[in-house]
Structure 1
Amino acid sequence: MAFYEYVSQEQLTGFDMYKYSAVDSNPLSVYVMHPFWNFVVKFLPTWLAPNLITFTGFLFLVLNFLMLAFFDYDFYASAPDHVHVPSWVWIVAGLLNFIAYTLDGVDGKQARRTNSSTPLGELFDHGLDSWACVFFVVTVYSIFGRVEAGAGVGVRTLYYILWVVLFSFILSHWEKYNTGVLFLPWGYDISQVTMSLVYIVTAVVGVETWYAPIFMSFHYRDLFTVMILGCAFTVTLPMSLYNVFKVYRKNNLKFSSVYESFLPFLSPVLLFILSTLWVCLSPSDIIEKQPRIFYFMVGTAFANITCKLIVCQMSKTRCQPLSWLLLPMAVVVLVILSGLVQHYETLILYVWTAAVALAHIHYGMCVVHQLSGHFNIYAFSLKKPSTD
């Protein structure tokens, strides 16, 4: 069972009829980034597969995550009494983040340039984007860190901020699930450019600069939090609801009942409930002991759920109410909350995180393999498979 067929025959038929439809109204994207990406893509060789560009950009984000994990595993490096992250690391982080963002912007242009656009390319792109959320949120956290006093952000606060970012991401795919059109969120481009700049600025001015209050007792950590929450609740959420409502008024929603329309949120909400119960009732306060691993576990489980939604959204099939991953996780959380394995909670977290990661990687590899075979293409090459 090396390659399990996760995509049903009904979904494969839906992929055959798929047409890409998206709206990008963000001024930063339209007037600045797209012209820049159009310039960059001209320098790429025409033999370079778009999916390889997408995957390379994703690996840069993973590299950033691992690099900061090496220098700041427990998020204390920005504290005044700790050894700070070297300045060159922030420069590398900023460059890698911007390069990853650029590659994410040019992969689709390369596909159109080489006449190699397929539904697999979009699925691969958005699937990796869903996993990338946890990497860039957790990586940028090291700038402020979990400092006990001053400019720090608590690990529990970051946990909820992460969930705001995750739900903001899934909103756009919930829109497309209901409307058939992907409304690209404004917050993504703004956040990527901002993060890249903040990394570089941090290398120049040092993390100590972020300790000073901006005005009275309002710190940069508060600005960081306000920007994320403000963007989510004043831009992303209202625009998503408005876009769905517009289509609803025209009687063009893909699903007529309220239950079917909101079905994609069921599994993410249950994941949020399970992980939050674990955070709040953990016998050993696991979020304080292993925040990085816990964030990674939650982000990976979320990505797995979101990828399945994207498959349903693109194939115009009904979203499954529950992800199978939630059942073993519910068992894990119940065992943890029983208090019988308090001394092994960290070990259980590591084992469960590894299981989630392997399950998600297996899912991704199988779906890419299955769709590659279905469309008779190579995922990472523009050469055509032999028909002999």
Structure 2
Amino acid sequence: MAGYEYVSPEQLAGFDKYKYSAVDTNPLSLYVMHPFWNTIVKVFPTWLAPNLITFSGFLLVVFNFLLMAYFDPDFYASAPGHKHVPDWVWIVVGILNFVAYTLDGVDGKQARRTNSSTPLGELFDHGLDSWSCVYFVVTVYSIFGRGSTGVSVFVLYLLLWVVLFSFILSHWEKYNTGILFLPWGYDISQVTISFVYIVTAVVGVEAWYEPFLFNFLYRDLFTAMIIGCALCVTLPMSLLNFFSVDPLVTFRYFRATS
């Protein structure tokens, strides 16, 4: 493993020409989160490496996953008649999820603040994000879990693919346009998930047994939000960005793939 050539010399040479370019049009990010992150990043000392911030946020996501796995190993803890996850666990997971999300938003600002932004740092960040897609979904699954009031494991599997599809789609978009259009669904989902964890600690998992509207259960709302966000927000915006950035880019792409 140590002697394996993961990146060719030609690919390494390409890093010298690479320049990070991203566009964020999400109102939540622009008017709420970015001002918040701009304040938070000033707390960090300039000697703190951006990659360490990135990795710390990822470790919090993994810790949440392991903590929930300990209290809910078979995803039945939220089902009626089973021993539920303690309320304090939901609070801890909710707070740490928001902290991890904050660190993910701050690491790039720290890199630019300390003039240490590199293509490898971006690759490290996005590589960890790809793993986090799994941990986020599986951890939040414990809110509903399995059983008569929960979500089937097969649906969980589909939701994992939907989230991964959204992640891959945004990077396909960047590969072909040279610009990373940050998906709206990420910021909205992270704030919502953190909030829902705290609400679960206050109202208990039994509150999610009740219908949200008519016979439409909260578990159905959970599933519909993830799929709907991917199909109605992420996918259309990615295609719109792909076709509108540069017509020549679109032409070259379809010519190369035809």
Moved runs in structure 1, 4+ residues, more than 3 A? Answer: 253-261
Q: What amino acid is the match of 2:179?
A: V
Map of 1:53-64 to 2, 5 A cutoff?
53-64=53-64
- In 2, the alpha carbon distance for the partners of 1:19 and 1:253 equals 21
Whether 2:249 is the aligned partner of 1:252: answer yes
Question: Which whole-Å deviations, capped at 9, do the CAs of 1:135-173 have from their partners, x for residues lacking one?
Answer: 0000000000012x23x1010011101101100111110
Q: Describe the shift of the 1:24–1:81 C-alpha distance in structure 2 as closer, same or farther (beyond 3 A).
A: same
Paired residue secondary structure (2:146)? coil
Q: Describe the shift of the 1:66–1:242 C-alpha distance in structure 2 as closer, same or farther (beyond 3 A).
A: same
Aligned match of 1:189 in 172, 181, 187? Answer: 187
Could you tell me whether the CA contact under 8 Å between 1:41 and 1:110 is conserved in 2? yes
Identity of aligned residues (%): 76
Report what 1:23 is aligned to: 23
In the TM superposition, residue 260 of structure 1 has moved relative to its aligned partner by: 3.7
Map of 1:123-202 to 2, 5 A cutoff?
123-147=123-147, 149-150=148-149, 152-202=150-200
In the TM superposition, residue 14 of structure 1 has moved relative to its aligned partner by: 1.0
In the TM superposition, residue 3 of structure 1 has moved relative to its aligned partner by: 4.3
Q: Describe the shift of the 1:180–1:253 C-alpha distance in structure 2 as closer, same or farther (beyond 3 A).
A: farther
In the TM superposition, residue 253 of structure 1 has moved relative to its aligned partner by: 4.3
- In 2, the alpha carbon distance for the partners of 1:175 and 1:258 equals 16
Structure 1 unmatched ranges of 5 or more: 262-388
Question: Which whole-Å deviations, capped at 9, do the CAs of 1:241-268 have from their partners, x for residues lacking one?
Answer: 11111235x213494335649xxxxxxx
Question: Which whole-Å deviations, capped at 9, do the CAs of 1:80-118 have from their partners, x for residues lacking one?
Answer: 111000001000100110000000000011111111111
Report what 1:243 is aligned to: 241
- In 2, the alpha carbon distance for the partners of 1:86 and 1:254 equals 55
- In 2, the alpha carbon distance for the partners of 1:158 and 1:259 equals 36
Q: Describe the shift of the 1:254–1:103 C-alpha distance in structure 2 as closer, same or farther (beyond 3 A).
A: farther
Aligned match of 2:231 in 217, 233, 243? Answer: 233
- In 2, the alpha carbon distance for the partners of 1:176 and 1:255 equals 15
Q: What amino acid is the match of 2:248?
A: N
Report what 1:382 is aligned to: none
Report what 2:66 is aligned to: 66
Q: What amino acid is the match of 1:37?
A: W
Report what 2:10 is aligned to: 10
Q: Describe the shift of the 1:156–1:46 C-alpha distance in structure 2 as closer, same or farther (beyond 3 A).
A: same
- In 2, the alpha carbon distance for the partners of 1:256 and 1:42 equals 42
Paired residue secondary structure (2:216)? coil
Q: What amino acid is the match of 2:249?
A: N
Report what 1:97 is aligned to: 97
Q: What amino acid is the match of 2:18?
A: Y
- For the pair shown, which has the larger CA radius of gyration, 1 or 2? 1
- In 2, the alpha carbon distance for the partners of 1:103 and 1:254 equals 38
- In 2, the alpha carbon distance for the partners of 1:93 and 1:254 equals 46
Q: What amino acid is the match of 1:104?
A: D
Q: Describe the shift of the 1:5–1:223 C-alpha distance in structure 2 as closer, same or farther (beyond 3 A).
A: same
Report what 2:51 is aligned to: 51
- In 2, the alpha carbon distance for the partners of 1:126 and 1:190 equals 18
Structure 2 unmatched ranges of 5 or more: none
Report what 1:320 is aligned to: none
The count of residues paired between Structure 1 and Structure 2 equals 258
Q: CA RMSD of the aligned region, Å?
A: 1.4
Question: Which whole-Å deviations, capped at 9, do the CAs of 1:18-48 have from their partners, x for residues lacking one?
Answer: 0111110000001000000000001111110
Report what 2:221 is aligned to: 223
Q: What amino acid is the match of 1:179?
A: T
Q: Describe the shift of the 1:11–1:85 C-alpha distance in structure 2 as closer, same or farther (beyond 3 A).
A: same
- In 2, the alpha carbon distance for the partners of 1:226 and 1:257 equals 32
Q: What amino acid is the match of 1:212?
A: E
Question: Which whole-Å deviations, capped at 9, do the CAs of 1:115-143 have from their partners, x for residues lacking one?
Answer: 11111111111111011000000000000
Could you tell me whether the CA contact under 8 Å between 2:212 and 2:218 is conserved in 1? yes
